[in-house]
Amino acid sequence: MGNNDVLSKMPDRRIKKLDRLFEAFSIVAEGTYVYICDMRYDVSRWSTSAVVAFGLPGEYMYAAGEIWEEKIHPDDKEVYRKGIGDIFEGKSFGHDMQYRALNINGTYDVCTCRGTVLLDDNDEPNYFVGVIRNHGIQSHVDTLTGLRNQYGMMEDLQYNISNHTEMRFTMVGISHFSEFNEVYGYHFGNKILQNFARYLYDKIGNTGSVYRLDGTKFAVISMEGTAEGIRNYYEMARSHFRKGFKVEDKDIILDLNAGHLLINNFDIDYQTVYSCANYAYSESKQRRQGDMVFFADELTDDNRFRLEKFHAIRGSIMQNFSGFYLVYQPVVDSESEELIGAEALLRWKNEKYGLVPPDEFIPLLEKDPLFPELGEWILKKALTDSKEILKKYPDFVINVNLSYTQLEKPDFVEMVINAVEECDYPAEHLCLEITERCRLLDLELLKNVVVNLRGHGIQIALDDFGTGFSSVGIVKNLPFDTIKIDRSFVMRIEEDDKEKELIEHFVNLAATFGAKVCVEGIETEGMKSILKNYPVKSFQGYYYAKPLKLEDFLVWRN
């Protein structure tokens, strides 16, 4: 719910009173989060820094007590709920409590919360005011470099967006930094970071602000300059650090990566900006050998539209996944051509933007902290829908794609097992697909996840075999139930003998390691007929069906 929707619940005089109280308390509450709640309308205003630190919906919130409760650690919720309940029921006129609250990084900060009720002239509860001290954040300054930290950066981003201040946001970082820590130790690594931070600070001068983010990443917010000027600054920095510089008499050479974003559209929030910049940064690191990547290459009308769409899609995750839905593409047995499974595919649609293709938002969302939450929703939705399909097709297996951001979460396996149990779904009828982007993960971590899931009866498939991530080494080191051959290897199989040879090679390789083969991209009778000559287990493609909504899937082939 946006600020305008929240404030529409209140008369103007109450809004002005709420704002005046907030401003007054903010003056004397330095270093804490201030909140003011109009108890008659249950509309609150909170400090921007709290909104940033904990990923709250906005500065103004309706029923903020319930929203905040969702952030409270499960073990602390009962005490919190009772304290807030007593205040709104008139049993108490203040509280002083400590609890743990979930921040945007997915960890809990210890917070002390003190508040009191202000009465009106008739001694009726009027406002509930208070402060929250976050003991997990002593300040917005990074102690190693002296720069403002990630929380400070996000607070400044949101402030500029709220005030419609045009700015340029650059994320820049160092590659292969762990090698310095391993060879020379963390103390030496810290000196490199301090040197790098000082260089950025000196070069930016009065034209912008520099921030230390997580790990070896930094950010720059500039209020002036052009895209070309930003690129030139970055190339100067790359040249400087490639030539080498001395740290404790050792010659050090650094490789950099950078992503850049122009913000002149203010119907977004800091989280959208950060995710888009992080996506551009990742593209620089993984695909462009460190060249600066400009998100959307300057925001033309079309690209500004893209940024707004992504903001709306992110917002949908926090609005109970409104606009998201799943479609299912059938997988058939290669011999009988009977249905044996389906791949669950994500879609998003709303009235303003229509249907947005998944390749426009999934690569962006995969860099976003919200993606694991969406991934869990996809899994549970697919399992729930598949229970209906299983009634008609007892051997049916549902395939669900995984992202590397899900796999690297420490509780990922636990989440999957809980989802299967919660949905009362037979584990052996679930197949999780590891996609090309999972190449970013450590092989041992990936192996532990795969072995653990298969130990619970869940099948594992390797998707996109033959593309960037898939390789003989991966198949050799990880136990897969199915290997899915990418459609790019069969598109011309009717006229290209080399593609026939490749398929034969892939099938033999899969058989060596005990995996079944599924071929994607079957589009014609001729492709199907050729592939039937090889020991392929299953087919998937438009020849059989496009991705279908559940209700259409259930009547497919009837």
Based on the number of CB atoms within 10 Å of its own CB, is 449 exposed (0-12), middle (13-18) or buried (19 or more)? Answer: buried
Query: What pTM did the predictor assign?
Result: 0.61
pLDDT in tens, 146-157: 888 888 888 888
468, pLDDT greater than 70? no
Banded model confidence at residue 378, pLDDT cuts 50, 70, 90: very high
- Cα separation, 159 vs 345, whole angstroms: 37
Say if residues 319 and 343 touch (Cβ distance below 8 Å): no
List, in order, residues 6 or more apart from 23 with CB less than 8 Å away: none
Pairing of strands 60-62, 208-212: unpaired
pLDDT of residue 459: 94
pLDDT in tens, 160-173: 888 888 899 999 99
- Cα separation, 2 vs 129, whole angstroms: 22
- Report how far apart, in Å, the C-alpha atoms of 140 and of each of 212, 277, 449, 543 are: 10, 21, 36, 57
Q: How far is CA 203 from the centre of its chain?
A: 32
Indicate the average pLDDT of the chain: 84
- For residue 221, the SS3 value is strand
* Maximum separation of any 2 CA atoms in the chain, in Å: 89
List, in order, residues 6 or more apart from 512 with CB less than 8 Å away: none
Residue type at 125?
A: P
pLDDT of residue 4: 58
Of 16, 70, 26, nearest in space to 46 by CA:
26
Q: What is the DSSP letter of 485?
A: E
Q: Please give the average per-residue pLDDT across 503-515, as a whole number.
A: 79
Tokens read off for 149: 């930290």
Q: How far is CA 259 from the centre of its chain?
A: 17
Q: How far is CA 384 from the centre of its chain?
A: 23
Of 548, 504, 541, nearest in space to 519 by CA:
541
* CB neighbours of residue 91 within 10 Å: 9
pLDDT in tens, 297-348: 444 445 555 667 787 888 888 788 889 999 999 999 989 999 999 999 999 9
Of 238, 190, 227, 229, nearest in space to 212 by CA:
190
Task: Provide Rg for the chain, Cα atoms.
Answer: 27
pLDDT of residue 170: 94
Percent of the residues in the chain that have a pLDDT greater than 90, as a whole number: 26
104, pLDDT greater than 60? yes
